């Protein structure tokens, strides 16, 4: 009994940390509708700053407290700079572009932090005055845990007062519930957005600063926390403060007791909670259904003009260049070209969903990874040859998409994105921890091409041929009635249903088709690398795919291809040249988002405007 | 149960939202080739009733039959398969497609080809689509992007799309909403043309009483979820109950709302 | 307008291809011996790999100052894999095909080590795996072209199990990150300890996700089982959390803790004043090793980098020493000659002489086993001894079973 009480308190302390990081993310999303990937980076920054301030003047309770508060304020300032110099320019850009921009910020902050503080983990001293533990029912409980819990309640109460009793708070709430209304009230939205973002950033910084008496500060803090924070926000309901609180408590208590009962399940548990919540209550525990549905897309696409003269020449020349390139370039370039062909297919399959169906997925790596594992496991467990193993790849990708997609296509917008992410992370956890079947973290080795295709040039032609054929197939699908119907469900699900289209089923089919295509890419990826590891399913692979699509340009069928070419080249060359490649890549992404909101394929429009 | 000539038969339909009875046991029918207007003050339950018929809402009780088939609670895309075309109060079209493509796709769907991965949509169904576009007077704009169309033309496009499955019933939610007064008449003339040429029945809601009395064969009046009157435009105009509900007279030029 | 769009597409595509093309122009200078090196120099692992890089840089400079090997200088071409196995394989391809390196070395993460080892076998390139700990790289998935320097998970666990067997403790709990390294370490420790002490039992196992340890809850769960002793495999940020929560919640009071790698400065130093006392650990007590070879290394390293070495520094340094010794023995950079030379290669290192076993390609480099203590508010290892790796490997018959095809 006493154990249960103490474990519940322990869970509450974790909940407090989780709440403090998630609530800022939720507020920022509620007001600006920006999914801020860099929220975790602001949290990490808060922790590093607090560490330095504590080292300078944190040797008393109040000094330590001041150090943490100062860190939060500085991070709020960083947030102000980020909002006014970057986000403000892109509120009108498509949502995914905002996501991409914040991901650029993640890369930049990661490298800057390493430059400033170095790579070593930093462990701050305990907080003076709260450096011991007190006895509760015979168990020692750290005093700081209780302090942290009270801070969470103070922040919750403070936010409640702010949102009920100040003009700013009322406007924030109004904006969260109905953006148009605030615009109609004649409020300066820029001021409101900046204010909300600074509040969110300050809370992130505070959340990070408050962690330093509990954990070491390290460079993995940003990505480690951001996915958990998303989960809390989504489970609680986007924009809901009390929702973030309840979700944080729910998840932390489940983890605290889950550790005792199923010590192995911890990694999956949090995503299971999210998946179950979204399936049962699609807008989260305290969320409202999202208003921005596919019906009021901000930038309707122009009609698709197929296969007209010059666009046809572009595709043919791509094919010719692809076929001729190995004759002119070196061995390693052929290997890079193989990777480009594979990633172009991955990006094209993602683009098919994002653009074709308006289906925002953050978990497309799942189907790429399932394809890779489908082939890898076929080789490893069934001793299949390359050709049959490659056939397993689209089957595995499609099977995963069929299963996960059934749940995902019932949601829309950011909730759908989060559910796709949850399933991808569940798949990743399974491959990571199911060692007997998947080889776990050590992966599956020895997935090399058959003898006839072992020459890199031969394998390139094989990969290029199949990937180009599948890309062509996806392109054809866009022009077929299937693709028109898919775009129809994106343009207006109401009208689609009114002309006899089963919108959910059609999205599900598209999801499965894209999953199969991504699976093909994954299968070739496995054979190109000779091995498969769980990181092919990890969120970073999904993000890479999004970067490629957005880099190339969403509104063009050529976009994902261009994006894959440029992204792979940049990554390969930058990582060769400099340790600071994340910094440069991040700056490049940010610059691109600001200058070229329609991606590389939108370059022509920009040049037209300049020259006219 | 199917009565010859009954395109739509609604029996004791009821729907409540959180204890508020929006529609409380409504029965009516629409006959083949008939134009029926559904009117009532705001909050009378028109929209709820309409959405129960078109499948967007699932009624708590009662039945909806279309062409003799019980379609109660069926989703919209299945209702469409029974020969029901729809237009919306705020137009819903495929904004990333041309006028012709909107119609072509609907024709493909009517043909059961909407999920086809085979031949491109390209020129398929183009001839039929051209005819429908011509029928609603949009031939000149056939290759224009839908987003470039003025609102009145979007309404016409919706009508063309609604006609693609050769419907026996058109469900039109506020067919003239948002249109200039002079355009309303020509829109409704177009509807009358569909009825005359294609024998389709029409059930529509409408706020403009000129439109109602000028273009309906029969009017059903709802108030607080119940049918309070039903009859020809002249009968409704004379009905004291209706006048009481609307707190005014239908005579004169002003549309009572 | 369409012409414009097309031109843009084409320019971009051609530009991209030209980049590939121009970068692929072979830059092969036959003069120095080229060593391709891959490791995770950015991201969270940088704290481990940067001291390692210092180590190999020092060795390269020392060897080249003496005129190199076989009359040729050593040149290391280094790549950052960003902790992604797929990128490590890509750079292995690049190093071999474009940079024409004579052999590959490096890697830290086990999965990256395995991926590169597999690549080495496939492409018949020698791979000196510096840091990956996994047993699989020399046993279950061992291959002809891969040799590993650092003492493996099994060896570290066996060194600790030997000490653990001397303790009176019977009820053991374990805590390890839930992935291959944690699982292998726990299994090896259990196997060896049970072999030495059939009377022990394992009463609780905690498997937190890597770098996501829920420290308070895990510590409570361990305490609930009332073990006599705890075997810990967590490291880095997880270890810091575990140590602080464990101390605050009294988990370590009257309990023995046996902990893998915690004596390495990489893991011990960030804990500063919080460093645990009396834990039995493997590690690298650089302050206290008194051999002449190590003192020379320590002096040179401190002078060159104005910093003290970490365990990774020794590994990096020994990697290059290995390669130099192997080249002297092979007399050429022919891969088969180099592979043959690696077998039974003997060399002197700051840790003393080591041998690369022919039977499983594992070096006999050992580790120091001792207890942690606090001196001047800092964690150090005391009462340590050097555990020679050769003494903590299974007998040859067992190794033959563990390493198929050998």
**Do C39 and C161 have their domain in common?**
no
C7 lies in a domain? no
pLDDT at A306: 58
* A408 in any annotated domain: yes
Is C47 domain-assigned? yes
With respect to residue C378, please indicate whether it lies within any of the assigned structural domains.
yes
* Cross-chain Cβ contact C214/A337 below 8 Å: no
Same domain for C91 and C67? Answer: yes
Give the Cβ contact number of residue A257 at 10 Å.
Answer: 17
Retrieve residue C279's tokens.
């834990």
By C-alpha distance, the chain A residue nearest B171 is A498
Chain A residues with CB under 8 Å of C273 CB are: 125
Cα distance between residue A398 and residue A381, in whole Å: 20
Alpha-carbon Rg for chain A in angstroms: 25
- Per residue in B194-224, is it b (16+ CB within 10 Å) or e — as a string? bbeeeebbbbbbbbbbbbbbebbbbbbbbbe
Residue C20 in domain = no
CB-CB neighbours of B128 under 10 Å: 15
Contacts of A336 in chain C (CB under 8 A): 20, 90
Q: Is residue A314 part of a domain?
A: no
Residue C19 lies in a domain: no
Q: Is residue C199 part of a domain?
A: yes
Q: Per-residue pLDDT averaged across C194-209, rounded?
A: 93
Stretch A72-86: mean pLDDT, rounded? Answer: 95
Burial class of A484 by CB neighbour count within 10 A (0 to 12, 13 to 18, 19+): buried
Tell whether C245 is within 8 A of chain A (Cβ): yes
Say whether C105 sits in a helix, a strand or coil.
strand
Gap between the Cα atoms of C180 and A406, Å rounded: 33
CA angle A450, A456, A457 (to 5 degrees): 110
Report strand pairing: B84-87 vs B169-173.
parallel
Residues C263 and C384 in one domain: yes
Residue A377 Cα distances to A439, A446, C402, angstroms: 9, 11, 22
Distances (CA, A) of C406 to A254, A563, C155, C184, C338: 48, 46, 20, 22, 19
Q: A294: pLDDT confidence band, cut at 50, 70 and 90? A: very low
Distance of CA C51 to the CA centre of its chain: 12
- What is the per-residue pLDDT for B197? 87
Is residue A515 included in any domain, yes or no? yes
User: Which of A215-229, A253-267, C30-44, C135-149 is predicted least confidently?
Assistant: A253-267
Retrieve residue A520's tokens: 């093909």
Residue with tokens 């340590």: C384
Q: Are residues C215 and C279 in the same domain?
A: yes
Tell whether C275 and C295 lie within a shared domain: no
Tokens for A289, please give them.
Answer: 């259904």
Residues C246, C272, single domain; the answer is: yes
Q: What is the number of structural domains in chain A?
A: 2
Q: Which residues on A lie below 8 Å from B110 (Cβ)?
A: 499-500
Parent domain of A67: 15-219
Domain contains A584: no
CA atoms within 13 A on the CB side of A437: 8
Judging contact as 3 or more Cβ pairs under 8 Å, the answer for C and A is yes
pLDDT surpassing 70 at residue C89:
yes
For chain B, the average pLDDT equals 88
- Domain boundary residue among A497, A524, A542? A542
pLDDT, residue C67, reads: 92
Per the domain annotation, does C94 fall within a domain?
Answer: yes
Alpha-carbon distance of A261 to A341, in angstroms, equals: 46
Cβ <8 Å between A325 and C86? no
Say yes or no: C110 contacts chain A, CB-CB below 8 A.
yes
Identify the DSSP state of C363. B
Residues C145 and C294 in one domain: yes
- Beta-bridge mates of residue C258: C231, C280
Domain span including residue C234: 154-286+368-392
DSSP bridge pairs for A444: A532
- Evaluate whether residue A175 is within a structural domain: yes
- Tell me the CATH number at C63: 3.40.50.2300
Between chain A and chain B, are at least 3 CB pairs below 8 A?
A: yes
Q: Is residue A264 part of a domain?
A: no
- Please tell me which residue of chain A has the smallest CA distance to B163: A499
| Phi and psi, residue C384, nearest 5° | -95, 160
What stretch of H or E contains B38? strand B35-39
Average pLDDT over residues B130-156: 91
- Residues C360 and C379 grouped into a single domain: no
Compute the distance between CA of residue A536 and CA of residue A376 in angstroms, rounded to an integer: 12
Q: Give A6-36 pLDDT, tens digit per residue.
A: 899 999 999 999 999 999 999 998 888 888 8
- Do C124 and C267 belong together in one domain? no
The residue ranking higher by pLDDT, A296 or A111, is: A111
Same domain? For C207 and C276 the reply is: yes
- Specify the 3-state DSSP secondary structure of C174: strand
Burial zone of C397 (CB within 10 Å; 0-12 exposed, 13-18 middle, 19+ buried): exposed
Residues 148-187 of C with CB under 8 A from A: 178-181, 183
Cβ within 8 Å of residue B39, ≥6 positions away: B46, B205, B206, B207, B209, B212, B219, B220, B221, B222
Instruction: Give the span between the Cα atoms of B203 and B38, in whole angstroms.
Output: 7
Same domain assignment for residues C194 and C299: no
Domain assignment present for residue C206? The answer is: yes
| SS3 assignment, position B202 | strand
Q: Are strands C103-106 and C146-148 parallel, antiparallel or unpaired?
A: unpaired
Distance from CA of C84 to the nearest CA of A (A): 7
The answer to whether the Cβ–Cβ distance between C115 and A533 falls below 8 Å is yes
Residues 6+ apart with CB under 8 A from C183: A435, A440, C176
CA C91 to chain centre: 19
Cα separation values, C42 from A112, A377, C37, C68, C134, Å? 12, 31, 15, 30, 21
Q: What's the gap between Cα B50 and its chain centre?
A: 9
The pLDDT tens digits of the residues spanning A198-245 come to 999 999 999 999 999 998 998 888 888 888 898 899 899 888 899 999
Per the structure, how many domains does chain C have?
2
Tokens describing residue C312: 């990774």
Q: Which of A313-317, C93-97, C176-180 has the highest mean pLDDT?
A: C93-97
Q: Which comes out higher in pLDDT, residue A249 or C8?
A: A249
Three-state SS for C347? strand
Residue A475 domain-assigned (yes or no)? yes
Q: Do C184 and C270 fall into the same domain? A: yes
CA distance B30 to B14: 18
Which is nearest to A113 in space by CA: B77, C255, C43? C43
Q: In what side-by-side order are the strands of the sheet with B84-87?
A: B84-87, B169-173, B201-205, B35-39, B218-223, B226-231
Find the residue in A nearest to B77 (Cα): A500
What DSSP state is assigned to residue B122? T
Of A192, A219, A246, which marks where a domain is finished?
A219
Residue that terminates a domain, selected from A186, A202, A219 = A219
A305 part of a folded domain: no
pLDDT, mean of residues C164-176: 96
**Are A331 and C99 a contacting pair, CB within 8 Å?**
no
Q: Sign of torsion, CA A341 A342 A344 A349?
A: positive
């Amino acid at each position: 009994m006493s154990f249960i009480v103490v474990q519940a308190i322990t869970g509450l302390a974790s909940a407090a940390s989780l709440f403090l990081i998630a609530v800022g993310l939720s507020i920022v999303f509620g007001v600006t509708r920006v999914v801020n990937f860099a929220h975790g980076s602001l949290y990490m920054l808060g922790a590093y700053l607090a560490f330095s301030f504590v080292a300078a003047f944190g040797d008393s309770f109040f000094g330590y407290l001041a150090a943490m508060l100062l860190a939060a304020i500085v991070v709020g300032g960083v947030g102000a700079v980020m909002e006014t110099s970057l986000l403000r320019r892109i509120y009108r850009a498509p949502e995914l572009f905002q996501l991409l921009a914040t991901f650029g910020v993640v890369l930049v902050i990661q490298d800057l932090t390493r430059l400033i503080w170095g790579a070593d983990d930093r462990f701050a001293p305990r907080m003076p005055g709260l450096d011991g533990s007190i006895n509760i029912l015979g168990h020692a409980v750290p005093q700081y845990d209780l302090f942290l819990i009270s801070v969470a309640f103070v922040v919750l109460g403070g936010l409640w007062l702010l949102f009920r009793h100040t003009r700013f708070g009322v406007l924030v709430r109004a904006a969260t519930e109905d953006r148009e209304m605030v615009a109609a009230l004649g409020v300066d939205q820029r001021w409101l957005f900046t204010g909300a973002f600074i509040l969110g950033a300050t809370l992130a910084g505070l959340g990070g600063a408050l962690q330093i008496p509990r954990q070491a500060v390290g460079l993995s803090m940003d990505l480690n926390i951001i996915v958990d924070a998303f989960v809390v926000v989504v489970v609680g309901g986007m924009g809901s403060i009390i929702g973030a609180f309840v979700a944080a408590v729910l998840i932390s208590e489940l983890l605290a007791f889950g550790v005792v009962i199923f010590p192995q399940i911890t990694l999956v548990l949090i995503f299971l909670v999210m998946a179950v919540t979204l399936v049962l209550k699609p807008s989260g525990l305290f969320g409202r259904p999202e208003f921005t549905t596919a019906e009021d897309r901000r930038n309707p696409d122009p009609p698709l003009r197929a296969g007209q003269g010059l666009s046809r020449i572009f595709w043919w020349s791509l094919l010719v260049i692809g076929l001729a390139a190995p004759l002119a370039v070196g061995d390693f370039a052929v290997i890079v070209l193989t990777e480009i062909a594979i990633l172009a297919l991955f990006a094209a399959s993602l683009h098919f969903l994002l653009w074709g169906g308006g289906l925002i997925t953050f978990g497309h790596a799942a189907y790429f990874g399932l394809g890779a594992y489908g082939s890898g496991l076929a080789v490893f467990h069934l001793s299949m040859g390359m050709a049959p193993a490659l056939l397993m790849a689209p089957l595995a990708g499609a099977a995963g998409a069929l299963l996960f997609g059934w749940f995902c296509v019932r949601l829309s917008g950011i909730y759908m994105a989060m559910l796709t992410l949850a399933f991808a992370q569940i798949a990743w956890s399974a491959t990571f921890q199911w060692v007997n079947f998947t080889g776990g973290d050590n992966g599956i080795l020895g997935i090399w091409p058959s003898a006839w295709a072992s020459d890199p040039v031969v394998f390139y032609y094989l990969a290029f041929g199949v990937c180009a054929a599948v890309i062509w197939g996806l392109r054809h699908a866009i022009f077929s009635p299937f693709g028109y119907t898919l775009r129809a469900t994106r343009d207006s699900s109401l009208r689609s249903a009114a002309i006899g289209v089963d919108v959910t089923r059609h999205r599900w089919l598209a999801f499965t088709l894209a999953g199969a295509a991504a699976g093909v890419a994954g299968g070739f990826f496995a054979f190109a690398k000779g091995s498969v590891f769980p990181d092919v399913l990890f969120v970073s692979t999904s993000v890479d795919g999004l970067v490629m699509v957005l880099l190339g340009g969403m509104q063009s069928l050529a976009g994902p291809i261009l994006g894959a070419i440029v992204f792979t080249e940049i990554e390969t060359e930058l990582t060769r040249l400099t340790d600071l490649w994340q910094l440069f890549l991040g700056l490049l992404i940010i610059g691109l988002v600001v200058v070229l909101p329609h991606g590389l394929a939108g370059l022509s429009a920009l040049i037209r405007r300049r020259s006219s | 149960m199917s009565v010859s000539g009954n395109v739509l038969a609604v029996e004791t339909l009821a729907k409540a939202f959180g204890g508020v009875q929006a529609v409380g046991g409504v029965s009516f029918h629409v006959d083949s080739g008939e134009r029926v207007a559904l009117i009532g003050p705001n909050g009378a339950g028109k929209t709820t009733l309409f959405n129960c018929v078109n499948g967007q809402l699932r009624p708590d009780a009662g039945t909806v039959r279309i062409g003799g088939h019980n379609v109660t609670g069926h989703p919209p895309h299945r209702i469409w398969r029974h020969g029901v075309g729809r237009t919306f109060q705020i137009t819903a079209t495929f904004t990333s497609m041309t006028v012709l493509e909107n119609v072509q796709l609907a024709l493909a769907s009517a043909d059961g080809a909407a999920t086809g991965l085979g031949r491109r949509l390209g020129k398929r169904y183009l001839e039929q689509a051209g005819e429908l576009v011509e029928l609603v007077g949009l031939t000149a704009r056939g290759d224009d992007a839908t987003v470039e169309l003025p609102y009145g033309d979007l309404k016409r496009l919706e009508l063309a799309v609604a006609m693609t499955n050769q419907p026996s019933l058109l469900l039109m939610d506020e067919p003239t909403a948002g249109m200039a007064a002079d355009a309303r008449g020509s829109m409704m003339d177009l509807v009358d043309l569909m009825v005359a040429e294609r024998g389709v029945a029409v059930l529509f809601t409408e706020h403009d009483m000129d439109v109602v009395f000028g273009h309906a064969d029969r009017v059903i009046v709802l108030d607080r979820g119940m049918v309070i009157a039903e009859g020809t435009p002249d009968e409704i105009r004379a009905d004291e109950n209706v006048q009481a509900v609307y707190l005014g007279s239908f005579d004169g030029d002003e549309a009572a709302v | 307008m369409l012409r414009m769009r097309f031109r843009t597409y084409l320019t971009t595509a051609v530009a991209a291809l030209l980049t590939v093309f121009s970068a692929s122009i072979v830059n092969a200078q036959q003069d120095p011996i080229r060593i391709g090196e891959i490791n995770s120099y950015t991201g969270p692992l940088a704290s481990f790999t940067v001291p390692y890089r210092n180590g190999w840089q020092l060795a390269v400079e020392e060897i080249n100052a003496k005129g190199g090997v076989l009359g040729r200088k050593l040149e290391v071409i280094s790549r950052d894999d960003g902790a992604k196995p797929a990128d490590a394989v890509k750079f292995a391809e690049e190093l071999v095909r474009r940079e024409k390196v004579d052999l590959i070395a490096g890697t830290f993460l086990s999965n990256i080590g395995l991926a590169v080892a597999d690549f080495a076998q496939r492409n018949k390139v020698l791979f000196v795996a510096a840091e990956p700990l996994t047993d699989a790289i020399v046993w279950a998935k061992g291959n002809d072209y891969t040799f590993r320097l650092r003492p493996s998970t099994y060896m570290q666990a066996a060194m600790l199990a030997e000490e653990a067997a001397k303790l009176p403790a019977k009820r053991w709990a374990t805590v390890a990150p839930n992935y291959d390294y944690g699982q292998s370490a726990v299994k090896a420790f259990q196997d060896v300890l049970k072999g030495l002490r059939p009377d022990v039992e394992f009463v609780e196992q905690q498997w937190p996700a890597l770098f996501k340890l829920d420290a308070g809850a895990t510590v409570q769960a361990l305490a609930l089982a009332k073990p006599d002793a705890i075997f810990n495999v967590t490291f880095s940020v997880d270890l810091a959390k575990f140590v602080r929560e464990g101390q605050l919640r009294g988990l370590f009071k009257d309990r023995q803790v046996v902990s893998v790698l915690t004596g390495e400065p990489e893991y011990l130093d960030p804990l500063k004043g919080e460093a645990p006392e009396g834990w039995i650990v493997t590690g690298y007590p650089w302050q206290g090793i008194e051999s002449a070879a190590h003192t020379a290394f320590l002096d040179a390293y401190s002078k060159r980098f104005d910093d003290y070495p970490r365990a990774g520094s020794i590994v990096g340094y020994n990697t290059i020493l290995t390669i130099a010794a192997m080249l002297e023995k092979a007399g050429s950079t022919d891969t088969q000659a180099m592979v043959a030379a690696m077998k039974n290669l003997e060399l002197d290192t700051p840790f003393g002489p080591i041998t690369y076993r022919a039977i499983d390609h594992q070096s006999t480099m050992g580790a120091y086993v001792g207890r942690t203590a606090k001196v001047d508010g800092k964690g150090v290892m005391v009462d340590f001894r050097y555990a020679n790796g050769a003494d903590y490997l299974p007998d040859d018959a067992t190794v033959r079973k563990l390493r198929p095809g050998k």
